[in-house]
Amino acid sequence: MPEPRETAVYTHGHHESVLRSHTWRTAANSAAYLLPSLEPRMKILDIGCGPGTITADLAELVPGGHVTGVDRAPEILEQARATAAGRALGNTDFAVADVHALDYPDDTFCVVHAHQVLQHVGDPVRALREMKRVVRPGGIVAVRDADYAAMTWYPASAGLDAWLDLYRRVARANGGEPDAGRRLKAWALRAGLTDVTASSGTWTFATPQERAWWSGLWADRTLASTYADRARLGGHAGEEELRAAAGAWREWGEREDGWFNVLHGEILCRKKA
């Protein structure tokens, strides 16, 4: 097996404000581009599974198959196991893993899936090569990632402009690429994947409930998460700047005409048989 070469720091961490978002994710709202390709007996690897909500959905969609969820953070896997147990899913298992050096033999899985992972890794091309290695010939590598520079909102907000600039600087200082969505196809081709279908998907937050939820979790994340710590310790922002960014989020969330869109790049790659 290749040696791990992770050099990035996970920007968000697992603060409650982060998990508020992660546990909201489902296969329907975060992996719709993959779902038509699933078959009941498939063996799936879900990389960066976090608290396991997408993993559990995938397991329900392949009742005669099996889903393995992996993450670099051992502590979050306990929550993923609890998610699967709470839904009485007997076709899942979970393990610690580094996407740069997966501890599985060649040609093991029918599908290898990663949602919001490559933006946080040190070598996304190497990661995709590993995903390609462990998927069977004829199998699928499916990846979806946000593109922060393509996020857009209304009304205009200098405070959110400053937040976005800060977030991108912190993420890059941590070794990641916050604008990963637009790069997925290029990375896949560099990794040797040739049958690549590129698409995009969005999350939109516009109702009062959606605005309150989205703005609240980002306001809290900006002040209290690992991201906030990295911003302070890396010298990217002081407490006043972080409080201003959190305030801009809450102000936007209270706007009746507020609208926010998160663009994601998606790739569906078939490994040559």
Say whether pLDDT at 6 is over 80. no
Inform me whether the pLDDT recorded for 47 exceeds 70.
yes
Structure tokens belonging to residue 212: 């309150």
What element of type H or E holds 240?
A: helix 239-253
Q: How far apart are CA 186 and CA 193, in angstroms?
A: 10
pLDDT in tens, 236-262: 999 999 999 999 999 999 999 999 999
* 198-236 per-position pLDDT tens digit: 999 999 999 999 999 999 999 999 998 888 999 999 999
pLDDT value at 73 more than 70 = yes
pLDDT on residue 178: 97
The pTM score is 0.94
pLDDT tens for residues 128-168? 999 999 999 999 999 999 999 999 999 999 999 999 999 99
Q: What pLDDT is attached to residue 122?
A: 92
Q: What is the DSSP string of 251-263?
A: HHHT-TT-EEEEE
Q: Which of 20-24, 42-46, 81-85, 220-224 has the lowest mean pLDDT?
A: 20-24
pLDDT grade for 7, boundaries at 50, 70 and 90: low
| Share of residues in the chain with pLDDT > 70 (%) | 95
Asked whether the predicted pLDDT for residue 5 surpasses 90, the reply is no
Note the residue count of the chain: 273
Which pLDDT belongs to residue 22? 85
The answer to whether 138 and 271 have CB atoms below 8 angstroms apart is: yes
Predicted confidence (pLDDT) at residue 169 exceeds the cutoff of 80 = yes
Question: How confident is the model at residue 61, as a pLDDT?
Answer: 98
Q: How far apart are CA 21 and CA 47, in angstroms?
A: 17
